[in-house]
Structures are given as C-alpha cells and as structure tokens.
Structure 1
Amino acid sequence: MQSTSTPTHCPYCALQCGMNLTPAQQGGVEVRDRTDFPVNRGALCGKGRTAPQVLSSRVRLTSPLVRAGDGTLAPATWDEALDRITGELTRIRAEHGADALGVFGGGGLTNEKAYALGKFARVVLGTSQIDYNGRFCMSSAAAAGIKAFGLDRGLPFPLEDIPRTGCVILVGSNPAETMPPALRYFTELRANGGTLIVVDPRRTRTAEQADLHLAPRPGTDLALALGLLHLVVAEGRTDEEYIQRRTSGWEEARAAAMAHWPEYVERITGVPVPQLREAVRLFCEPEHAMVLTARGPEQQSKGTDTVGAWINLCLATGRAGRPLSGYGCLTGQGNGQGGREHGQKADQLPGYRKLDDPAARAHVAGVWGVDPDSLPGPGRSAYELLDALGGDIRSLLLMGSNPVVSAPRAAHVEERLRSLEFLAVCDVVLSETAALADVVLPVTQWAEETGTTTNLEGRVLLRRRALTPPDGVRSDLEVMHGIAARLGVEKGFPTDPEEVFEELRRASAGGPADYSGITYRRLAEENGVFWPCPGGAEPGEGGALDAPGAGREEGGSPDAGAGLGEDASLDAPGADDPARDGDGGAGAHPHPGTPRLFLDGFATPDGRARFVPVTHRAAAEEPDDEYPVLLTTGRVVAQYQSGAQTRRVDELNAAAPSAFVELHPRLAVRLGTAEGDPVAVVSRRGRAVAPARITPHIRPDTVFMPFHWPGAGRANTLTNPALDPTSRMPEFKVCAVRLERA
C-alpha cells in the first residue's frame, strides 16, 4: 500500500466524484475529501464514503471457484479455473460455432477493460454475440442524440454550466438520491435566479426542490414533450432565425407537435393545462435553458422518440449548440459513457465507430493486426442476447454485471442463465448471477487497479491504484490475457492498463469518440480531458476544432479554447497553457479537449441539427381490468444498481435494508393495507412481495418499487422486456400490475 494519499475517483455513479484514499490505521484505506476535483468539489454521498468496505476480504471473493461434481462451488487454483473455461469454450465452439459463445460486459468496467473485452470477443472468440448492461441505462438517449446531433455524449457541456443557465427541465431524474453531489448544481441554479422544472410521477426529494413539479402518468413523457412544443408554437415562442440557420426537418416535426393540443395532452398525461403553460413560460423566457433526461423517459419502448421530442423542444427554441443551453443525458453507471464508446456494444467498434462501416473495420483491424473480413458483424442487443441463452448461445462469459437482479423479466433471464452449458463470471463479490456460474473468477476493484473512466460530461479520468490486491485476485485484463493465451492468441492482450490505453488511443483516432490526444500523463496532471481530443493538432489549427460539432460559436474566435468567443470563463481547461508539450500526439501543444460540443455546428454531414418528427403512442402494456395499476421502478440513495456491492455494506443496509412498495393512501385504502403490511405486486411475468410504504407523493394510479434487491422483493421479476425499436432498450419504467394483500 502506498504511504501517501492517492487521488482517485468513486467506483459508483457517472459523476465519478473525486476522492483521496489514505492508509487506515486498521489496514486498508479510508476516504478523504478531494476538493480540487471540479465535479463534486469534495462532496460525497454515503456510497462513496463507504466504498472501501467492499475491499474487505470479509465480503469479497479472494479465490477462483469451480463447480464441483456435487453441484457446489469449490475453491480452485487459477490454472484449474482458466483451464476449465478454455476447455469448455473450445468444445462449444467446435461443436456449435463461434456464435454459440456469448459475452456480456458492464457499464462499470474501465475504458481499458471495455475495449479489451470487445476485442477479445471478436478476435479471440470470433463471436458476434457481445453486448453489455449499459444497453439498459442510456441507449435511448444515445440513439436520439445521434439522430438529432450526429453524435452522442451524455452531456455536451460541463456540469458547471447548469447553475449559469436560466431554466432546467429535469425529466425522469432524481439526482438527490441517484447522485447526491450533483444536486448542488440545481440548488445553485435556483440561488442564481434560475428555475428548475422536474418531471416525475413521484414527488421525489429532487422534485421537492423544484419551482414546478409536473407529475405525468408513467409512459406519457412523449405526449408531455409534444404538448409543450405545441404551446411553444401556438404562443409564438419559436426561434425562427435559429431554426432556419442551424436545423433541418422543422416543418414535419412542427406538424406532428400541433396534433398534440393542450387539452388532449392533459387527458393523456394527467398534467393540467395551466401547468403546461407555466412550464413553457419558465423555459422560454430566460435567454438560456436546458433539458436534461435520465432513465424515466429513456427506459421505455418508445424511449428514443421520447428523448427526440425533448430535443425537438430545445431545437425549436434555439436551445442547443449555444453556451449555457442545450440537451443532455444524465448517464447513470460509473463508466456508462466510456463503456458505450469502445466496443463492448453489439454493433460497435472503438472510438464510437459502427461495426458495419467498412472504413471503421479496416481502421480498427489495422490496429489489431487482423484481416477486417475476420471481424464478425453486429450481434444481438443485451436483452435479446440474454433471452437466447441456452438456445443457440451455449456459453456466456460475463464481466461486471448481475442480470439476475438487473435485467427485465428477471425470473426468465435467471432460467436462461441456468440453462447454459457453461457460465463463467468475473466479479468482485459472489453476486446472484455469479452464484449460478460454473466458474467464478475473483477480480480486482477500483482501488486495486489503475484505469480510466469517462464521466457523464465526457470527461476522461484516471483512477489510480492505492492498494495491492489480495493474493488470489487478478484483474480482468489478466483474465483475458490468460484465456487468450490458452486459446492460442499469445499477443495483443497486455495486462498493463496503460499499454491497453495506448492501443485504445490508436483505435479511437479519427472516430467520433477520439481519445488519441489523451494520455495517462495528461490525466495525472489535469482534472480530466473532454473528448473528442485528437492527437497531433494545436488548438485552433485543425483537428476537432474544424470538425462539425466541436468548433466555435458563430462569430467567435478560433483561438478561444473550445471556441466560445470572448467568454474566458467558458474556455477549455488548459487551452491557454503553451508550456505543455509531448502529450496528445505530434506538435508542441496538445489538443485541449472539447468541454462544449456543437457550438459551431452539429456532427451531421451538413452541420445542421435534425428535427425528428414523433407522435405519442401508448406504452407496450397499458392497465386493464386484470392489471389496473401502473408500476414504475428506480433507485434509493443508499443502494446502487443491482446492490451486489452496496448490500454488503452495513451502514448502507441499515439505511435501506430491503425492497418496498410505494403507494398512494387512496390506493392503500382500496387495497385495505396499512404502512408496513406485505403487499404482492403481480404482473404478467411474475410476482414480487414487499412491505407497503404509503405516501401522498405518488400518483394514485401508480406504484413504485426500487430494483436493488433479489428474492421475493425483486422488482425486475415484474418489468416488461418490450424493446424500443431503435435503441433496443427494455421498458423498465412502466408496466401494468395488480396489487394483492400478501
């Protein structure tokens, strides 16, 4: 263990809060504030402060486990475990072909691991069947962003811009519980005279901070956005000059919105017309405004269209591609942004390149030293891959995910996992999914390894190793190296994360997510670097500053950092430091990175943003006489994702020990249940039971369950795997249920 404090980042959400790790008297490390990191400025939530507790050998895996003849998982040596894995993969591939081998990754893997996993699947295994749990997180926002702007980056501006805008519409997000250090940005917004509008069927802790809370019926966010755009047009609040100069497709989108008049939208959403009009006034009157979406509107079978409707609202009012205005997605998982950029997604190659693009295949194959024709084509999306397990997919290698708890229709997914001929899981703890595996490999955690992540702003960060991992634990990179070598691929899978990152830089060069100008040295010296950051170009002398979407505000100077004219406070970090050299490729001055996108143009062929006409449609499953209530799901402040790690921390479990069913008092009266009584929630896919939590802060036609727990209270037993046709996102956020006294 190092004797001094190690600056690093939290292992949990996409804020990637800065923290310092210092040696603890009782051994291990403890968390100390790191005030120099601009995202959280020293603030941490309870999950971040207690993160070192999961490093304890009391809760984590320290030895490989192999399924014995009697069906139990027994400790084994690494050679025994890796030999078992390679033997089974070799047998299954010989009998059924390469696509019988599935690979499933995670949005918490570092950039290096995500990159190596995509390469491993395609080069070593030769399979197209790879995807990751980030498909369940922000894929609809990504798809909508690419349609409208030509590029997806969660936030196209830093968080620091939020307090300086005039109004924020926060749609389906509860940062007070999901990423508490981010709440200060919205508090500062209001302190500066700006307004906050929260769209959520529940009056959450975040909604309590809002100037206006809109509580639509779950599954109707698309109609709500269209209704607001209708009013913008009807009240003459569109920015016609901006629309003409910087967009295309307005007439079609306008016509679609005009079919959603206020009274019609009120009937669909339950949001009163006066509230719709007030929202439009608050959003349109300031000079600057933003719309931020999260899982609420995105985790729907029409999530891409829903996000597209909110983007249309921004475009119609001139609120995109300008300082202190725009649309952004609040990415959830720790490396959810980087995880979807470098190749563990079914249709993707590193640098956010498309797998079916011949030029992209040729570039990446050149970096990998393989024939482009040897690379398989796109495979199944996450749920479709899980649904195919035990069919034509006979084995699965899984890293950094716990689909037994986190996948929709979870009981079915669990059954599919059990039906596999072979399952290997790499994890820190014995998760519910790992407990089903034939081989479990114990891998290093955040504080025991170095690697990069990319936070929700597109800021690439360096996590630093602060501890030596326990004996018997290896990194995911070492796992891939060991399996690849046993399968005859001796080179191309280094175990040093910096060496992997150097290859990632080359593979991403010239792609939409260009990391080629970023190095470990730069990341160690700076508080992150925003992509795109191409190598080999000086600021203002070509590179991404001349590419669509990364350049200057109209009339601005090409020398002003990220191109924001005379507003020095918005300049890119480091853009005025000619002393830095040697990093980021050839040239004395490395590219400063791009904190703010789209200021000079969008990343489309003509540089214009594209309106996408959308219309409201119902959720895949609407209430009926048998299932008359709507279920929506989400998180609580003390737990994270599937809870595999946070449920092993005593302090967090004391704050949130189990699942619950949140319901309105009127619904509780009809059911005849009281606070704390067990309630059964039943959908067409299964049944979950948890104590009642009665509150007036939820719609009477809706119940809410958090999704962090397995067993009887597993919320995802109930959820609907109906998929968005573009993003392939399942409809986690709305399904029809009935309630029973348990």
Structure 2
Amino acid sequence: MNSAGAVTPTHCPYCALQCGMGLTPVAGGGVEVVERADFPVNRGALCGKGRTAPAVLASGVRLDSPLVREGGVLVPASWESALDRIAGALGGIRTARGADAVGVFGGGGLTNEKAYALGKFARVVLGTSQIDYNGRFCMSSAAAAGTRAFGLDRGLPFPLEDVPRTGCLILVGSNLAETMPPALRYLTELRANGGTLVVIDPRRTRTAEQADLHLAPRPGTDLALALGLLHLVVAEGRTDEAYIRERTVGWAQARAAAMEYWPEYVERITGVPVPRLREAARMFCAPEAAMVLTARGPEQQSKGTDTVGAWINLCLATGRAGRPLSGYGCLTGQGNGQGGREHGQKADQLPGYRKLDDPAARRHVAGVWGVDPDSLPGPGRSAYELLDALGTDLRALLLMGSNPVVSAPRAAHVEERIRSLEFLAVCDVVLSETAALADVVLPVTQWAEESGTTTSLEGRVLLRRRAVAPPRGVRSDLEVLHGLAARLGVGKGFPVDPEEVFEELRRASAGGAADYSGITYRRLAEEGGVFWPCPASEAGGEGGEGGGVPHPGTPRLFLDRFATVDGRARFVAVSHRAGAEEPDAEYPVLLTTGRVVAQYQSGAQTRRVPELNAAAPGPFVELHPRLAARVGVAEGEPVAVVSRRGRAVAPARITSAIRPDTVFMPFHWPGEGRANTLTNPALDPTSGMPEFKACAVRVEGA
C-alpha cells in the first residue's frame, strides 16, 4: 500500500480486458482513478465503469459488518459469531446428510488466489463435489470447443495487439462498444490498416455500425451461418489443402457435414441473404491472415459448443489457426473468468486446468495439498444444475462473488430454490439480491483493498495491488476460508496472505495445461504481466530465481503445434439443430439478452454508482417498429414480455436496429424488469451452458 500522493498501479475490477489504471489516495479517505498509459491493452483509456469503480468502496454503499438472520431479519453481528454460525451449519448438515448436501458457488470476479482456495476448501475441508461458478455462464461453450479442437482452451491464443494487424476479423455475437469500450480502438485500427470487419449480430449495435459488413441472423442460428460459410469456402475452392494435410485431422467428415448447408438453405434458416453470405466468405478468405472472435451470442446456446466448433472449422479449413495474425479466439467476459476456471472453481477441474477424473492430476494436486488422492471427490454438477438442486439433496450453500437471483436463467425458479435451502452463507462487497436472502452475510474486501492476481482474456496473468486499507469490519475472502477451515477441523493449508496462496497455486499448476509455475509476484510487478503457460525454468529456480533463465511466457499459442497428443488440430463434424425453444403461435417472437455500457453483469455494484445509473437507470425492451405497431405500444410505454417461465415488464425502446422477429432486454436489473425471469435453462450437453441468447416469447401491452 503506497503512501499519500503515490500512485498504485493496478487493474480495473470489472471485465476481462483488465484495463490498467492507477489509484491515488484522496483527502478524507478512499482513492481516485488516474490514467495508466503504460499498460498496452488500454493505454490509459477507461470506460465509465472503470473510472467510477472507487465509488463502491464508499461507506454506506458497501457492507462493513457481518449480518446474521434473526427473527427473519438480517442484523449486525461479530465476525466470530458469524463464522461460528456458518461452520456450525455447514458441518452439521454435512454430518447429517453427507458431504454432497453442502454446495459451493463461486464467481468469475474472484482473484486466482481466491478461486484456488475456494476449490481447495470445497474438496479438502467440505469434501463435496458440489462446486461450480458463474463463469460457467460466460465462456464454457468456447472453452469446450477450443479444448476439443486444439487440446487447450485459452480465451485468446494471441495478444490483442495482433487484432489490428490481421486482414479480416469476423466478430460473432459481441458488442465490444458496450461491453469492452476501450477495446473498440482495435477495430478502428484494424480498418485504418486496411483490414475488414464483419460483425454478426441480430441487432445493429454500436459495434455493428463500425463494420464493413453486418450480418443479422435470427438468434440461435449462428451454427447454420458458420456451416454455410464453410460450404461456400469449399465450393469456391478457398480451402488451404496443404495446411489441412499437415496440421489437422477429421477434415473429410467436417467437410461432408458442411456441404449439406448450401447458401439458399442457410438463408432460409438464418434470414441472411445469399449475396451477403458470399460477401462474408470472400472478405474472410481474401487476405493472407484472418481471425474469428466469438462472444456470448453464439456461446450462450444449448448448442453453443458445436456453434463455436463450426467457426473453428472455418478457421482450420482456410489455414487461419496457429499462424501469425490468424486464429480463433473467445472474448472472455468476466474479470477473471479465465483464471477462475483454471484453478479449481469449475465442477470438473483441478488447478492448472487439470481434469478432476484424471488419476495423475488427482495425485499431483493431492500431493501439493497433503491429502490422499482418493479423498478428493469426483466431478459435480454444472452451475445451473447445482442451483436447480438447491433445497433437494443439496441443503446448504456457501456463495462467493455471484448474484444468481438476477444472473441465472429461469431466475424466479432459482430464487425459489435458494429460498428453500436450510442454510445460505454469502460473501460479498454489497448486499446483493442474493445476499439479502442469506442466513449469514460476510462483508469482504474489494479489488483496491487487497492484492491478488487475475488472468485476462489474453491469458495474461496480472497483479492487482492493494492501494487502501479496508474498513475495520471487513475481511478478505482468504481470511473467511481460513477461519471456516479452522472451525471445521483443518487448521493448516489456508493462508491469508495472497502471495503465499499464489506460491502454492504455482506448485499445484506445475506441469498442467495452465502452468503458472514460472510466474511470481515479483515478475508480475516488474514485467506488468506474464502470459501462461509459463513453466518454471529448468536451469534454475522457479521463475528464473536462483540462477536460472525464466521462461518468457507464451503470448502466442499453437504456432508450432497444437496442444493435442499428435500436435494436430481436430475438425469436428457438426450440424445445425433448432434451439430448445422455437417460436410458435403462443410465443411467436424470439428474445435475446445482453448488456449496456453503463452497467455490469447483475448490476450489484454498478447500480450503486449514481453516474452509471444516470446513464442507464433501468431495464427496457428493444423492439422493431413493425412489432411495436402490431402490439400497439409507443416509445417509452411499458411493454410485457412473456415466456413459458414468467413475465417481465419494462419501457419500450423502438428501433429499426433490431430484427422484426426479435426483442432484446439487458439483464442487469432485478424486479419486474428482470430479463432472466424469461430465459431458458436448456443446457448445452457438453459445456453445461444455458440458452440465454434465444427463447420464445410473446410481447403485449402492460
């Protein structure tokens, strides 16, 4: 923590761009944000959320004392009594009903140290298999598809600095102008350098307005669109046959599947005219290098893994993967969505991106933890399945850094399941809608009040530094886990110093796919970030200490070989299939959801910032003028959107920038405008991703 007037270099607490910023103390307490131009990703630029992030540190906005439920009301309590109550409840339910009666739900905003400690706590202290996190709702489909094709998942296998230097970028289901505003300059620079931009989105967003070509498919048809483009690439002789022979397997089957999607058929499915399909294929294949980046649009579907797989197939067929300035990547959403799953929050993974059902992985991690490998539970439920089971065989839940009452699909049902629990404990910085239902709420430190690491969408491991002391009544999540572990009979193995936790994480990740063993806090401070994998040097100590040469990190993956056994990428034959819910006479319209620039995720923090609320004060329903006329609603009037799961009401926002058969709602708000009251929890069979991006609804006057 720096002295008064000094600037602490750190990173924004919000999205996975992890923009660099500086924090400096202000008179009377607290900090203010100053520009940090030396960090290459944002070069000092920040969106409104980043600039106003210190507002959530203020007294009266954040929690500053533990709360326990007495007589149905949350009242202040001491830390010792609150921890005693949590440990007693978790331990008692575990003893009475078994370890899997207790669940853990984490968050993609937790630092690597917290995510690692939380996964260890679930498996070593509680002995439960029932752990997952809200990052399952972020990029799990892209992770599954990337692992299937390349043998390894890292959001971007290349740094963002490569994007402006490629020849063509296809951006699928991403509205960077609102979700990651400082990244929009990469698209501007791309076009200034002579490259072309294709944006695929059912809405003409601010990002789509920057495009050379905008394709607006029906929600849920991105898979057919990708197959149609691959069909055209084959039919027009644009495949890279030498690359396919030398660096891939499975092409014959993938090609045969794509040839069933001739342009006119794809137009009928997607609504995208054939000439525009041909233009997109031509633009992608014309330059020497090209990229495809996906985000939640194609991923948050019940066929999201196959949809991303189809876009990867397009890259592989044209030789646009594992080559300079070319490749497929996923734009991770949450601040530490990448690192959060690499190190143990995900139901089927151990630290280092090791698989929980791999005996060698279990032996390695158990050795670091000092436990018997056989004592580690097996894989548990994915995120929505875990939430859906609350109150049945799963009786208690410890939740950190998530607000599923607003963010989960079929949110009214999830809220009902949470209310049915015997016991709920929540660790958060504010009294979120989920925390308000808890039996115990613990106030925990925020980004500016603690040190720790995050891993950005580039796979760049970064160090956030403590700039200010937390309020007296607030403790860190690591202190919470330490206190609970001790009360539950595990007195060692849960340190409160984040650097000490990271040192153990390094050992646990060593040799794994996400190898951090060559990364130290010292390196991160000196170098400003290190790309994983970064193994310990062989010639000396870890991270190059003790005389060895440190591994430089890996900004660009797959240039020599893919992370598969034979070094070749895998084509996977995929076919389009209808969404879990298609429009019908009762529900004739499709709903898709997303974000607005001034709010973030469930809004638990950003809705407490006056400047952001002034810019985005509440939910709305975006609909086409033809649909508005048919419903009989005018601009600003309340409109109801009804699905098979519930009803949401918000003011109408009428625009020709959306398809006439589609409505859009942002998902940041609770109450009657809660978009996730409507969304469908139908799951991708591979990734466990719910189908947030397409469900059948009807629209009517409120």
**TM-score computed with the length of structure 1 as normaliser:** 0.94
**Residue number in structure 2 paired with 1:654:** 614
Deviation track 1:396-438 (CA, whole Å, cap 9, x = no partner) reads: 0000000000000000000000000000000000000000000
Deviation track 1:636-675 (CA, whole Å, cap 9, x = no partner) reads: 0000000000000000000000000000000000001100
Contact 2:593/2:667 (<8 A) preserved: yes
Q: How far 1:527 sits from its partner (Å)?
A: 1.8
Task: Read off the aligned partner of 2:37 and give its amino acid letter.
Answer: T
Asked whether 1:35 is paired with 2:29, we answer no
Task: Read off the aligned partner of 1:56 and give its amino acid letter.
Answer: A
Contact 1:536/1:586 (<8 A) preserved: no
Asked whether 1:645 is paired with 2:647, we answer no
Contact 1:221/1:297 (<8 A) preserved: yes
Q: How far 1:537 sits from its partner (Å)?
A: 3.3
Contact 1:319/1:325 (<8 A) preserved: yes
Deviation track 1:429-450 (CA, whole Å, cap 9, x = no partner) reads: 0000000000000000000000
| Rounded Cα–Cα distance in structure 2 between residues aligned with 1:410 and 1:79 | 33
| Rounded Cα–Cα distance in structure 2 between residues aligned with 1:450 and 1:664 | 47
Partner secondary structure for residue 135 of structure 2: helix
Q: Percent identity?
A: 86
Q: How does 1:269-348 map to 2 (within 5 A)?
A: 269-348=270-349
Task: Read off the aligned partner of 1:64 and give its amino acid letter.
Answer: P
| Rounded Cα–Cα distance in structure 1 between residues aligned with 2:538 and 2:560 | 18
**Residue number in structure 2 paired with 1:591:** 551
**Residue number in structure 1 paired with 2:62:** 60
**Residue number in structure 2 paired with 1:164:** 165
Asked whether 1:191 is paired with 2:151, we answer no
Aligned counterpart in structure 2 of residue 14 of structure 1, from 13, 16, 30? 16
**Residue number in structure 2 paired with 1:241:** 242
Task: Read off the aligned partner of 1:531 and give its amino acid letter.
Answer: W
Contact 1:169/1:292 (<8 A) preserved: yes
Deviation track 1:612-635 (CA, whole Å, cap 9, x = no partner) reads: 000010000000000000000000
**Residue number in structure 1 paired with 2:578:** 618
Partner secondary structure for residue 691 of structure 1: strand
Partner secondary structure for residue 632 of structure 1: strand
**Residue number in structure 2 paired with 1:403:** 404
| Rounded Cα–Cα distance in structure 1 between residues aligned with 2:538 and 2:652 | 59
Contact 2:222/2:298 (<8 A) preserved: yes
Q: How does 1:68-107 map to 2 (within 5 A)?
A: 68=70, 70-107=71-108
Q: Which moved more, 1:387-396 or 1:90-99?
A: 90-99
Partner secondary structure for residue 340 of structure 1: helix
Deviation track 1:269-296 (CA, whole Å, cap 9, x = no partner) reads: 0000000000011100100000000000
Contact 1:646/1:652 (<8 A) preserved: yes
Partner secondary structure for residue 612 of structure 1: coil
Task: Read off the aligned partner of 2:572 and give its amino acid letter.
Answer: V
Q: How far 1:185 sits from its partner (Å)?
A: 0.4
**Residue number in structure 1 paired with 2:637:** 677
Contact 2:116/2:345 (<8 A) preserved: yes
**Residue number in structure 2 paired with 1:729:** 689
Structural RMSD (CA): 0.9
Contact 2:537/2:543 (<8 A) preserved: no
Q: How does 1:710-729 map to 2 (within 5 A)?
A: 710-729=670-689
Q: How far 1:89 sits from its partner (Å)?
A: 1.0
| Rounded Cα–Cα distance in structure 1 between residues aligned with 2:29 and 2:486 | 36
| Rounded Cα–Cα distance in structure 2 between residues aligned with 1:493 and 1:685 | 42
**Residue number in structure 2 paired with 1:44:** 46
Asked whether 1:696 is paired with 2:656, we answer yes
Partner secondary structure for residue 61 of structure 2: coil
| Rounded Cα–Cα distance in structure 1 between residues aligned with 2:329 and 2:649 | 36
Contact 1:505/1:516 (<8 A) preserved: yes
Q: How far 1:66 sits from its partner (Å)?
A: 0.2
Task: Read off the aligned partner of 1:654 and give its amino acid letter.
Answer: A
Task: Read off the aligned partner of 1:458 and give its amino acid letter.
Answer: G
**Residue number in structure 2 paired with 1:544:** none
Partner secondary structure for residue 543 of structure 2: coil
Contact 2:517/2:543 (<8 A) preserved: no
| Rounded Cα–Cα distance in structure 1 between residues aligned with 2:428 and 2:91 | 23
**Residue number in structure 1 paired with 2:376:** 375
Q: How far 1:586 sits from its partner (Å)?
A: 5.8
Partner secondary structure for residue 21 of structure 1: strand
Q: How does 1:465-504 map to 2 (within 5 A)?
A: 465-504=466-505
| Rounded Cα–Cα distance in structure 1 between residues aligned with 2:547 and 2:530 | 18
Contact 1:536/1:587 (<8 A) preserved: no
| Rounded Cα–Cα distance in structure 2 between residues aligned with 1:112 and 1:91 | 28
Q: How far 1:25 sits from its partner (Å)?
A: 2.9
| Rounded Cα–Cα distance in structure 1 between residues aligned with 2:512 and 2:158 | 19
Q: How does 1:172-211 map to 2 (within 5 A)?
A: 172-211=173-212
| Rounded Cα–Cα distance in structure 1 between residues aligned with 2:625 and 2:196 | 30
Partner secondary structure for residue 592 of structure 1: coil
**Residue number in structure 1 paired with 2:115:** 114
Task: Read off the aligned partner of 1:136 and give its amino acid letter.
Answer: F
Structure 1 residues 403, 100: CA separation in 2 closer, same or farther (over 3 Å shift)? same
| Rounded Cα–Cα distance in structure 1 between residues aligned with 2:178 and 2:56 | 21
Asked whether 1:214 is paired with 2:174, we answer no
| Rounded Cα–Cα distance in structure 1 between residues aligned with 2:247 and 2:90 | 52
Q: How far 1:589 sits from its partner (Å)?
A: 1.0
Structure 1 residues 586, 379: CA separation in 2 closer, same or farther (over 3 Å shift)? farther
Contact 1:517/1:585 (<8 A) preserved: no
Contact 1:519/1:584 (<8 A) preserved: no
Asked whether 1:148 is paired with 2:149, we answer yes
Contact 1:231/1:277 (<8 A) preserved: yes
**Residue number in structure 1 paired with 2:628:** 668
Task: Read off the aligned partner of 1:614 and give its amino acid letter.
Answer: V
Deviation track 1:289-328 (CA, whole Å, cap 9, x = no partner) reads: 0000000000000000000000000000000000100000
| Rounded Cα–Cα distance in structure 1 between residues aligned with 2:541 and 2:609 | 44
* Regions of 4+ moved over 6 Å: none
Task: Read off the aligned partner of 2:67 and give its amino acid letter.
Answer: L
Task: Read off the aligned partner of 2:352 and give its amino acid letter.
Answer: G
| Rounded Cα–Cα distance in structure 1 between residues aligned with 2:58 and 2:247 | 54
Aligned residues: 700
| Rounded Cα–Cα distance in structure 1 between residues aligned with 2:245 and 2:229 | 21
Partner secondary structure for residue 652 of structure 2: strand
Contact 2:8/2:467 (<8 A) preserved: yes
Contact 1:534/1:584 (<8 A) preserved: no
Q: How far 1:27 sits from its partner (Å)?
A: 2.4
